[in-house]
A and B are shown apart, each in its own frame.
Chain A
Amino acid sequence: MDGPLLSVRDLGVTYQDRHGRSQPALRGVSIDVLPGQTVTVVGESGSGKSTLLNAALGLLPPAARVTQGQVLLGGNDITGWTDKRLATLRGTFVGLIPQDPGSSLDPVKKIGHQVCDAVRIHQKVSAAQAWRIAEAKLRLAGLPEPDRLRDQYPHELSGGMRQRVLIAIALANDPAILLADEPTSALDVGVQRQILDHLEMLSDTLGLGILLVTHDIGVAADRSDRIMVLRDGSTVEDGDPGQVLGDPRSSYTRQLLAHAPTAASTRVRGAGGTRADTADGDESVIELDAVAKHYSDVRAVDGVSLRVRRGRTHAIVGESGAGKSTLGRLVAGLTAPTTGSVAVNGRPVPDAPRRASQRWFHRQLQYVFQDPSNSLDPRYSVERSINEPLRNLRVRDTARERAQRVAELLEAVGLDSSVARRRPSELSGGQRQRVAIARALAAEPEILVLDEAVSALDVSVQYQIIQLLAELQDRLGLTYLFITHDLGVVRMIGDDVTVMRHGRVVETGPVDTVFSAPREQYTVELQEAIPGRSLREVREVA
Chain B
Amino acid sequence: MPEQFTEAELALESTAPDTGLRWAGALRRTVRRPTLVASWLVIVVVALWAVIPGVFTTGDPLKIGSGDSFAAPSLSHPFGTDQLGRDLLTRTIFGTSETVKATLLAVLLGLIVGSILGVLSGLARGLVDTVLMRLVAVLLAIPGLLLAMAVVAALGYGTTNIAIAVGVASIAPFARVMRSEVIRVASIDYVTAAYGSGAGFLRTAWNHVLPNAAPTVLALAALECGSALLAVASLGFLGFGTPPPRPEWGLAVAEGRNYLSIYPWISLLPGLIIVVVVVATNRISKSLGR
- Residues of A whose CB lies within 8 Å of any CB of B are 18, 332, 334, 353-356, 359, 362, 366-367, 369, 371, 374-379, 381, 383-384, 387-389, 392-393, 399-400, 402-403, 421-423, 426, 436, 439-440, 442-443
Contact = CB atoms under 8 A, between A and B. Distances in A.
Interface in B187-203: 188-190, 192-201, 203
B211 interface: yes
Given A383-B12, A399-B6, A353 B212 contact: no
A418 B174 CA distance: 40
Given A353-B196, A378-B212, A421-B17, A392 B188 contact: no
Contact of B200 (A354, A400, A402, A440): A354
Given A359-B198, A374-B190, A379-B211, 7 more contacts: A362-B198, A381-B12, A381-B13, A384-B13, A389-B196, A436-B193, A439-B197
B196 A379 contact: no
Contacts of B9: 384, 387, 399
List 9 tightest A-B contacts by C-beta distance, closest first.
A392-B198, A389-B197, A399-B8, A399-B6, A393-B198, A375-B189, A374-B189, A388-B197, A377-B190
B193 A439 contact: yes
Contact of B212 (A375, A377, A426, A442): A377
Contacts of A387: 9
Nearest to B208: A377
Interface in B14-30: 15-18, 29
Nearest to B5: A399
Candidate in B190, B199, B207 with the most chain A CB atoms within 10 angstroms: B190
Contacts of A440: 196
A443 B197 contact: yes
B7 to A, nearest CB: 7
Candidate in B17, B198, B208 with the most chain A CB atoms within 10 angstroms: B198
A354 B190 contact: no
A204 B55 CA distance: 83
Contact of B197 (A362, A378, A383, A421): A362
B194 A334 contact: no
A435 to B, nearest CB: 11
Contacts of B16: 381, 421
A403 B193 contact: no
A403 B7 CA distance: 12
A376 B195 contact: no
Contact of A366 (B17, B196, B204): B196
B193 A354 contact: no
A388 B199 contact: yes
Contact of B201 (A332, A354, A359, A400): A354
B212 A362 contact: no
A210 to B, nearest CB: 37
A356 B197 contact: no
Contacts of A389: 196-198
Candidate in A376, A377, A381, A403 with the most chain B CB atoms within 10 angstroms: A377
A376 B196 CA distance: 12
B197 A369 contact: no
Contacts of B188: 374
Contacts of A439: 193, 197
A376 B201 contact: no
B15 to A, nearest CB: 8
B196 A421 contact: no
A57 to B, nearest CB: 30
Nearest to B10: A399
B27 to A, nearest CB: 13
A369 B193 contact: yes
Contacts of B29: 18
Given A387-B9, A399-B7, A400-B8, A334 B192 contact: yes
Contacts of A443: 197-198
Nearest to B17: A421
10 contacts: A334-B192, A356-B198, A366-B196, A377-B190, A378-B212, A392-B197, A393-B197, A403-B8, A442-B197, A443-B198
Contacts of A362: 196-198
Interface in B148-201: 188-190, 192-201
A387 to B, nearest CB: 7
Contacts of A18: 29
A406 to B, nearest CB: 10
B125 to A, nearest CB: 14
Nearest to B25: A19
A371 B108 CA distance: 37
A439 B7 CA distance: 21
A362 B198 CA distance: 7
A377 B194 contact: yes
A367 B203 CA distance: 20
A400 B7 CA distance: 10
A366 B194 CA distance: 11
B129 to A, nearest CB: 18
B197 A353 contact: no
Contacts of A367: 192-193, 196
A387 B7 CA distance: 14
A66 to B, nearest CB: 26
Contact of A375 (B8, B17, B190, B200): B190
Interface string B213-245: 000000000000000000000000000000000
Interface in B118-151: none
Contacts of A423: 18
A369 B212 CA distance: 19
A146 B57 CA distance: 78
Contacts of B193: 367, 369, 375-376, 436, 439
Contact of B196 (A332, A381, A422): A332
A392 B199 contact: yes
A257 to B, nearest CB: 33
Contacts of B13: 381, 384
A424 to B, nearest CB: 9
Contacts of B189: 369, 371, 374-375
A34 to B, nearest CB: 46
A486 to B, nearest CB: 20
Contacts of A422: 18
Contacts of B200: 354-356
Contacts of B17: 421
Nearest to A377: B190
A427 to B, nearest CB: 13
Contacts of A371: 189
Nearest to B200: A356
A353 B195 contact: yes
Nearest to A356: B200
Nearest to B190: A377
B264 to A, nearest CB: 46
Nearest to B188: A374
Contacts of A392: 197-199, 203
A40 B85 CA distance: 83
A149 B190 CA distance: 40
Contacts of B190: 374-378
